[in-house]
Copies of this chain bind each other. A is one copy, B any other.
């Protein structure tokens, strides 16, 4: 007996997966906002919940045997349902010997009238979710080949995007957006899913969030991917801004390291792991005062910060002003510098002794 479950997980995807990633400024290898990676544990969690409820001992997925997604799906399954058995056709010889690659499979689909979105006109594979679309393989496997201009489905080509910016004000509380207002037309959104969808809309309209990268997969090979993440890109920039505005400098340094760790864990499929839960809790702790409003403009593929304000800001206009002294004695800086130089001067002395100047 077969059952099919098609469910709408958009709400939990935004609140439980995207929001923590925003708090973390999660980004893999300095560029990839993890749009696919962060969706996998959300999907697989629901899959095993249903499997457990239905008494199913097996789950399956269609991810290839060379990619990250197989790892992400399966680690989630094993973490939440340790006894589960997983069927992964692309790793079963009977399957992959018959279908040596995507080409064979497309032929099969063609023969059997199964509709597939990859056509000779779009010879690559894509994966779409609320957060982003990724394009890979096919002609994109040659890292030198430029992406076709009509590849992107979620964002407008910046060359064709509006000639006038949109200006948004995003309000954060505890490091997550709680409201977005379009300053130009007054439109406002205040539920997580609506906020994120609206940012996708505005980002998409202005061609924001396209990247073309070669990245390192968990399984040790490099792959080329083209991604578009319109709303995520706006939020990444906006959160960075309000965070640095409100968070203590040294907390920020430590949290930056945790954010990198968190990003690697997400990428590698360890969302449901003790270390990821630990890091997520630490990052959440760091966001207590990350609160306030950021104004930004979105235009021709770019996000520009315009200004920010916060009731929790550690920014002290008087302290930093070049025009008033504030509660600060400039003479202290001399001592600060001199003490910081103690070590450098000692090192110079030693170099003199050892005759090597570097």
Contacts and interface: CB of A to CB of B under 8 A. Distances in A.
B214 A315 contact: yes
B317 A141 contact: yes
A347 interface: yes
A314 B159 contact: no
Interface in A84-113: 88, 90-91, 93, 96, 100-103
Given A254-B278, A282-B285, A348-B79, A74 B341 contact: yes
A261 B277 CA distance: 20
B341 A79 contact: yes
A95 to B, nearest CB: 10
Contacts of A159: 163, 165, 299
A315 B252 contact: no
A4 interface: no
Given A302-B302, A323-B101, A333-B65, A146 B307 contact: yes
A328 interface: yes
Tier of interface size on chain A: 35 or more
A62 to B, nearest CB: 12
Nearest to A261: B254
Contact of A254 (B158, B279, B313): B279
Given A78-B344, A82-B345, A240 B319 contact: no
Interface string A251-280: 111111110110010000110111101110
A213 interface: yes
Nearest to A344: B79
Contact of A333 (B91, B143, B211): B91
A70 interface: yes
Contact of A335 (B251, B327, B336): B336
A312 B354 contact: yes
Nearest to A31: B240
A337 B332 CA distance: 8
A187 interface: no
A261 B253 CA distance: 10
A160 B278 CA distance: 46
A324 B163 CA distance: 44
Interface in A301-358: 301-302, 304-309, 311-317, 319-325, 327-350, 353-354, 358
Nearest to A79: B344
A27 to B, nearest CB: 9
13 contacts: A30-B256, A74-B337, A102-B323, A137-B322, A138-B322, A142-B317, A213-B241, A220-B342, A222-B249, A251-B278, A273-B343, A274-B347, A336-B338
